[in-house]
Amino acid sequence: MTLLAVEGLRRSFGSLVAVDSVSFEVERGEVVGMIGPNGAGKTTTFNCVSGVLPSDAGTVTFEGADVTEAPPYDLARRGLVRTFQQTRELETLTVTDNMLLPTPDHPGERAWHAVGRTAASEQREQEARERAMDLLGTFDLRGMVEEYAASLSGGQRKLLELARALMLDPSLLLLDEPFAGVNPTLTAEIVEHIEALNADGLTLLIIEHELETLTDLVDRLIVLADGRVLATGTPEAIMENEEVIDAYLGG
Amino acid sequence: MKFEDLPVDATRAGAVLLVLAVAFLFSPLFVRPPAATLVLFEVGVLFLLYALVLVGLNLQFGHTGLVNFGPVAFFAVGGYVAAIVTANDPYGAVGLGLPWPVGLAAGVVVAVVLGALIGASTLRLRDDFLAIVTLAVAEIVHGLIVTVRDVTGGSNGLQNVPRPIAATTGGGGAGELFATVLVFGALAVLFYGLFHRLSASPYGRVLRAIRADEQVTETLGKRVFRYKFVVFVYGAAVAGLAGALLVFYNGAAAPGFFTINVTVIVWIGMLIGGAGNDRGVLGGLAIIMGFQLATRFLNEQLPVITPDQFASVRLMLIGLLLMVIIKYRPEGIWGDADELGVES
């Protein structure tokens, strides 16, 4: 079943067409990689899909609903959650607050409940806190709960960003270069987390420009070049695709 | 022990104080503070009104990162609307002569409408636009107050505005000052408590996240614009309330009450105290207003310097203090450097 369908997506910046009639689909339960050289339009595609950038043309369908015009907060609530290429922790918040922030449907985020400290708000906060501590345990961040996110190392930031996204219980997670600037040990750890999450039913779309990291992890690859989809297929098929080799791997 | 840990909740304390203050107003009790302390009470009244403006500004800037350079605009609009609605025969200006509660409500409502208009048109744009627009609006409001003479009385202002507290205490003097401090103090504590509760909750967490990174906050499922808008309007509302209280205290509205100095004082108080620390900003305001009061006494002892020269020296000293704070303690005296993302 198709979870995400992107059809004819186009986005330009001035005279530069960053993404040009890009179409692809992601099936529920898949791990899909999106590769391409720098400037291929990967992040712009992510930005358009996640509502961060408006697209010039094309449609985005998520779980059967047209979400082309949907703002980022709406997509996040629907279960389409993204991370950023440069990790973007909320540095002036503690690790715990970073984790609690995304809690969906929190009554305490409405002024009346916040001022009145209602039971509904306290209960939701307690539930969210338990879930956050579980996730921080899974991601080896339990020792950092009271630290400000600014004090985390680069690797810990990657893990926190992943853990934080899971607080939204996403059905599709878009990861923008989760392995960039990460040492091999941590890369293996992140790969394990991704595999475990996928085994639990999470669908993932992962941007990467190192093909090697993705070949064992993903079911399918989408290759972008110059803002267009060059090829899609299994990692094996992609590695033998002449066009891909010419445009990307050969270079 | 921190203030926050005390088993006293400011919201409840403020509500109880307000009830007591009003009960006191209508009781036969009478307090006459010594004449020498009257100047303290006078400065105290102004401090409490500025404190109201400041708790709103701190919610906007300290917690949410909204740069509002024109809190005085809402203070002035609240004050002038309240004055116009209630004044009786205000000498060459518009005075509707309605009861003071109507004026109070009208002052707050118009300040809220102004806040909503500015918020709706500006808060979707980049941060710096809000700073520019609020600064400009404050100047426009001040300009209108001085130039639309038929309505506002121009530089003379509006006279014959009702003075509800003076009327209740039997008019004038020390008893009235004391009662005013009691009522305004109760309101200041109440709004401090309400805004502190708001900021120390999951709601406040969203505000701090917006201050840190709006886009990330939005991609984590929060309607950033709505929070910014609501917080901006809350700040406008309390500033409007404070303005209305000021004209009901003075029995008049005049352009001199609502100059850019108000904005400067509350901003400096906030930065010295530590933006984002609800109690710290009030401490900062107390420091800056205490400094002004102390130097006033000093000037009386130094007759060789004219008051004009002295005012300039005072401004220089305040500027120097601000520079020292920003250079050596950018988070302010009670601010949290980690929370504000600054290195001291």
Chain A residues near residue B212 by CB distance under 8 angstroms = 90-93
User: Could you tell me if A115 lies within 8 Å of chain B, comparing CB atoms?
Assistant: yes
DSSP B152-175: H-GGG-B-----HHHHHHTSSHHH
Looking at this predicted complex, what is its ipTM?
Answer: 0.93
Q: What rounded mean pLDDT belongs to chain B?
A: 90
Residue B103 included in any domain: yes
Total tally of structural domains belonging to chain B: 2
Cβ within 8 Å of residue B310, ≥6 positions away? B295, B299, B302
Contact B220 A71 (CB under 8 A): no
Residue B121 included in any domain: yes
Distance CA B291, CA B139 (A): 27
User: Of B203, B234, B258, which marks where a domain is finished?
Assistant: B258
pLDDT score of A182 = 85
Give the position of tokens 């008049």: B252
User: Of B258, B289, B314, which marks where a domain is finished?
Assistant: B258
Question: Is B197 found in the same domain as B341?
Answer: no
Distance CA B74, CA B51 (A): 14
Contact A73 B224 (CB under 8 A): yes
Indicate the residue of B194, B209, B338 with minimum beta-carbon distance to A101: B209
pLDDT score of B6 = 57
Residue B265 included in any domain: yes
Indicate the residue of B11, B202, B219 with minimum beta-carbon distance to A109: B202
Question: Is B108 found in the same domain as B217?
Answer: yes
Res. B295: pLDDT tops 80: yes
Contact B219 A92 (CB under 8 A): no
Contact A101 B205 (CB under 8 A): yes
pLDDT digits (tens, 9 = 90+) for B170-185: 756 778 888 899 999 9
Residue A236 Cα, gap to closest chain B Cα (Å): 34
Chain B residues near residue A100 by CB distance under 8 angstroms = 202, 205
B323-331 average pLDDT score: 88
User: Could you tell me if A102 lies within 8 Å of chain B, comparing CB atoms?
Assistant: yes
Domain hosting residue B323, numbered range: 260-344
Question: Is B168 found in the same domain as B34?
Answer: yes
Question: Is B280 found in the same domain as B224?
Answer: no
Chain A residues near residue B340 by CB distance under 8 angstroms = 92
Residue spans of alpha helices (H) in B251-275:
260-273
Q: What percent of chain A is modeled with pLDDT above 70?
A: 98
Residue B1 included in any domain: no
Question: Is B277 found in the same domain as B217?
Answer: no
pLDDT grade for A250, boundaries at 50, 70 and 90:
low
Residue B3 included in any domain: no
Contact B215 A52 (CB under 8 A): yes
pLDDT score of B1 = 45
Contact A101 B222 (CB under 8 A): yes
Is residue A192 within 8 Å of residue A202, measured between CB atoms? Answer: no
Question: Is B318 found in the same domain as B233?
Answer: no
Indicate the residue of A82, A115, A124 with minimum beta-carbon distance to B194: A115
pLDDT digits (tens, 9 = 90+) for A38-49: 888 999 999 999
Res. B5: pLDDT tops 60: no
The CATH superfamily holding the domain A2-89+170-249 is P-loop containing nucleotide triphosphate hydrolases (3.40.50.300)
Residue B4 included in any domain: no
A185-198 average pLDDT score: 93
Question: Is B77 found in the same domain as B87?
Answer: yes
Question: Is B164 found in the same domain as B64?
Answer: yes
Res. A115: pLDDT tops 80: yes
Question: Is B213 found in the same domain as B270?
Answer: no
Chain B residues near residue A90 by CB distance under 8 angstroms = 208-209, 212-213, 216-217
Res. A249: pLDDT tops 60: no
User: Of B243, B258, B273, which marks where a domain is finished?
Assistant: B258
CA distances from B321 to B268, B327, B333 (A): 9, 10, 12
Question: Is B56 found in the same domain as B29?
Answer: yes
Per domain, the residue ranges of chain A are 2-89+170-249, 92-151
Can you tell me whether residue B64 is helix, strand or coil?
coil
Indicate the residue of A92, A114, A168 with minimum beta-carbon distance to B220: A168
Instruction: Name the closest residue on chain A to residue B339, using Cα atoms.
Output: A92
The tokens describing B29, both together, are: 């009790």
Question: Is B195 found in the same domain as B285?
Answer: no
Res. B275: pLDDT tops 90: yes
Question: Is B153 found in the same domain as B95?
Answer: yes
Residue B2 included in any domain: no
